[in-house]
Chain A
Amino acid sequence: MSNMIHAFEHWMLNYRRVWTGTIFSGFVMPILFMVGIGLGVGAYVQDTSAIGGVSYAAFIAPGLLASTAMQITMGEMTWPVFGALRWGAQYKAMQASPLRPIDMLNGHLLYGMLRGFISAVVFLVVMVFFGVVNSGWAPLAVIPATLTAFSLVGLMYAYAVTVDSEIGLSIIQRFVIIPITLFSGVFFPLSQLPQALQAIAWISPLWHGAELSRWAVNGTETPWFWGVHVLYLIALGAVGWWAAYRRLTIRLTS
């Protein structure tokens, strides 16, 4: 446990230098989304029956909250992890200390999760300013947002330690993160999709996270029992952790 914290401190020390910048961009991104899509696109949405009777901005905000946490965490698990194992050599340095691969892994994942969590909190603050938070339960949306980040953190990490070139990392951005963001019921309800595509979207952790988040913020009933959504996110996260642990151990001890 304490070893994991020691590895975590490395990334925190680096973060200390850049945190003001990340908080700033953490505000800017949600504001752009809320203005551009929430208000801009929202102006064309007249019929709100399919989105629970709330404004379009209020509909997308909770989903964006979960999606932002997920993206920030995944971003931390791409180049930074790839680099720590290769050119940055931070892992090689850690390997000469009492830290074991499992400590390096957990320390880094914890840092990625913290970044996602912070961005979720920032997003929530932005939502207050846009007047889309009307319930005292809304702050709870940070939990499914962080769980959404958790569901993919290990898988992303496993991928980053496995790929041989940086091109592999860009591919994830284009072919995984963007489709997930677009087809997980963040910008429109899943019911708008053909039945077959809806079934595919159920796999997406962001759909589960967005639904839970919307439940907290807007009080919209979750499509499935909430525990199932939570369980899915945790289970996927656990599988990802195991994959990451296996890949890193192989990578570091070969």
Chain B
Amino acid sequence: MSVDPPLIYAHNLVKRYDDFVAVAGIDLSVKPGEAFGFLGPNGAGKSTTMRMIGCVSEPTDGELTVLGLDTTKQGAQIRARLGVVPQEDTLDGEMSVFENLVIYARYFGIKYKVARERARELLEFVRLSDRADKKVEELSGGMKRRLTIARALVNEPDIVMLDEPTTGLDPQARHLVWERLFQLKQQGITIILTTHYMDEAEQLCDRLVIMDGGRIASEGSPRELIERHVTKEVVELRFNGRHTSELGDIAAKLDGISGQVDPLPDRILLYSDDAETAVAEIHARGLEPSSVLERRATLEDVFLRLTGRSLIE
């Protein structure tokens, strides 16, 4: 059986701006049909990496191929097969919703007749058919994002790249975007996305890398990452308004109950494979937290363990 070559391959990829290192030598390999995520806080190097994959920004060093082509030499060819949803909307506010799709299709040399057909289908797909003749300026943030997603599909791309697709959207709008992305995934389209929402990463990504300070801190499926870096469950303890140094003292008393103990500014996290037993032991040691929350470990915990910081600061 032959193995599919990676759609995106990066080796020791670096991007430097004068003295600032945005991406500090990362390795990547994305397979066809995968939903691949970059999870990390702002400034981690996610968008810069996306810009290099999207052939908008040239790598300072290292190797990068997309669809088997060299990003520095065959940028236009690669871009012809990508669908890009940038972080900030780049729609033309003066044009109508429909015109935005058709003119974007023209950038790709798609004939007007085909462009108009696709525009109609895609508006259906993102549920904007009834807004086709409205000016983009009149759309809500969520609608603009959906239109941008529709626009990214107009050239029937092999890879769809989304930079923070739901940042700034209300919960309802987010869910609608997720639903559409999930449908794309089911159609077998390769999806690359960046996010600083761990729930988004967990919902959409088959595999992801956690980025911090321009480096990849860890890589795997959401489940693998959780199993590798944290325990199955987490107990969150709060002690009535006490924080920082006091919590540090309390944390010391929790030593040995289970796995790691992390005192945060406002609460203590106790990693355990058996939260119930751990909580019983806490009470047995005479500690009386004001609140106890037992929950499943998430990617947020993974990020915290790996970097010592939370994702959204």
Instruction: List, in ascending order, chain A residues with CB within 8 A of B76's CB.
Output: 98-100
Q: CA–CA, A97 to B91, complex, Å? A: 13
Q: Nearest-CB distance from A84 to chain B (Å)?
A: 9
What are the interface flags for A80-99 relative to B under an 8 Å C-beta threshold, 1 for contact and 0 otherwise?
00000000111011111111
What are the interface flags for B267-297 relative to A under an 8 Å C-beta threshold, 1 for contact and 0 otherwise?
0000000000000000000000000000000
Interface size on A, residues (CB 8 A): 23
Q: Which residue of B has the minimal Cβ distance to A8?
A: B106
Q: CA–CA, A10 to B93, complex, Å? A: 13
Q: CA–CA, A253 to B152, complex, Å? A: 21
A96 touches B86 (CB 8 A): yes
Supposing A9-B103, A10-B103, A13-B99 touch, asked if A98 and B90 sit within 8 A by C-beta, the answer is no
Instruction: List, in ascending order, chain A residues with CB within 8 A of B155's CB.
Output: 97
What are the interface flags for A205-241 relative to B under an 8 Å C-beta threshold, 1 for contact and 0 otherwise?
0000000000000000000000000000000000000
What are the interface flags for B90-101 relative to A under an 8 Å C-beta threshold, 1 for contact and 0 otherwise?
111111000100
Q: CA–CA, A91 to B90, complex, Å? A: 8
Q: CA–CA, A2 to B88, complex, Å? A: 28
Q: CA–CA, A105 to B76, complex, Å? A: 16
Q: CA–CA, A87 to B65, complex, Å? A: 31
Partner of A6, one of B92, B93, B106: B106
What are the interface flags for B144-163 relative to A under an 8 Å C-beta threshold, 1 for contact and 0 otherwise?
00000000100100000000
CB of A7 closer than 8 Å to a CB of B: yes
CB of A174 closer than 8 Å to a CB of B: no
Partner of B90, one of A3, A17, A93, A252: A93
Q: Nearest-CB distance from B49 to chain A (Å)?
A: 15
Q: Give chain B's interface secondary structure class.
A: loop
Supposing A9-B103, A89-B88, A96-B82 touch, asked if A2 and B109 sit within 8 A by C-beta, the answer is yes
A98 touches B86 (CB 8 A): no
Instruction: List, in ascending order, chain A residues with CB within 8 A of B104's CB.
Output: 93, 97
CB of B79 closer than 8 Å to a CB of A: yes
A96 touches B79 (CB 8 A): yes
Interface centre among B79, B82, B90 (most CB of A within 10 A): B90
- Counting chain B residues whose Cβ lies within 8 A of the other chain, the interface size class is 20 to 34
A89 touches B90 (CB 8 A): yes
Q: Give chain A's interface secondary structure class.
A: helix
Cβ < 8 Å to A, chain B residues 75-124: 75-77, 79-80, 82, 84, 86, 88-95, 99, 103-104, 106-109
Q: CA–CA, A203 to B97, complex, Å? A: 46
Q: Nearest-CB distance from B176 to chain A (Å)?
A: 22
B95 touches A14 (CB 8 A): yes
A96 touches B89 (CB 8 A): no
What are the interface flags for A1-30 relative to B under an 8 Å C-beta threshold, 1 for contact and 0 otherwise?
011001101100110010000000000000
Q: Nearest-CB distance from A17 to chain B (Å)?
A: 7
Q: Nearest-CB distance from A12 to chain B (Å)?
A: 9
Q: Give 6 A-B contacts (CB < 8 Å), ordered by A residue.
A: A3-B109, A6-B107, A9-B106, A13-B103, A89-B91, A99-B107
Q: A89-B90, A97-B80 are in contact. List 6 more A-B contacts (CB 8 A).
A: A9-B103, A10-B106, A13-B103, A14-B92, A89-B89, A95-B56
Which residues of A line the B interface, CB within 8 A? 2-3, 6-7, 9-10, 13-14, 17, 88-90, 92-100, 252-253
